[in-house]
Amino acid sequence: DAKTTQPNSMESNEEEPVHLPCNHSTISGTDYIHWYRQLPSQGPEYVIHGLTSNVNNRMASLAIAEDRKSSTLILHRATLRDAAVYYCILRDPTYGNKLVFGAGTILRVKS
């Protein structure tokens, strides 16, 4: 399983943008980059995914480096509800939808 590296924790102020980095230097050409988050006492929640191009949805943006060895999840205006553990995951399409979770990044949002 391809590995990702994320900072253990990050802190942000409310209403400010947050950039959550993820390194995946061993990514293969077919791996999708997925982000999930887990709020306290809840199951993980899908945030966004991409393959090569940058992606936007109502929750966040995903910026993917040209060489695909790193990516950044961007929350445009952090709110207290965004405080969660954020997981960056690589998904090999040939092995179905098994998700390999690492330790993730704990995001703290200050008011």
Query: Does 102 participate in binding other proteins (rule CB under 8 A)?
Result: yes
Cross-strand partners of 91: 32
Query: Does 65 participate in binding other proteins (rule CB under 8 A)?
Result: no
Instruction: Single out the residue of 44, 55, 59, 61 in contact with other proteins (rule: CB under 8 A).
Output: 44
> Interaction with other proteins in 75-94: which residues (CB under 8 A)?
85, 87, 91-94
Instruction: Single out the residue of 11, 46, 108, 110 in contact with other proteins (rule: CB under 8 A).
Output: 46
Locus of tokens 């995001």: 107
In the chain, which ranges are E strands? 9-13, 18-23, 32-38, 45-50, 55-56, 61-64, 70-75, 84-91, 105-110
Locus of tokens 């950039």: 19
* Beta carbon of residue 103, minimum distance to other proteins (angstroms, whole number): 6
* Beta carbon of residue 11, minimum distance to other proteins (angstroms, whole number): 19
Locus of tokens 């207290």: 80
CA distance 73 to 40: 20
Nearer Cβ to other proteins (21/102): 102
Give the binding site for other proteins (CB under 8 A). Answer: 30-32, 34, 36, 42-46, 49, 51, 85, 87, 91-104
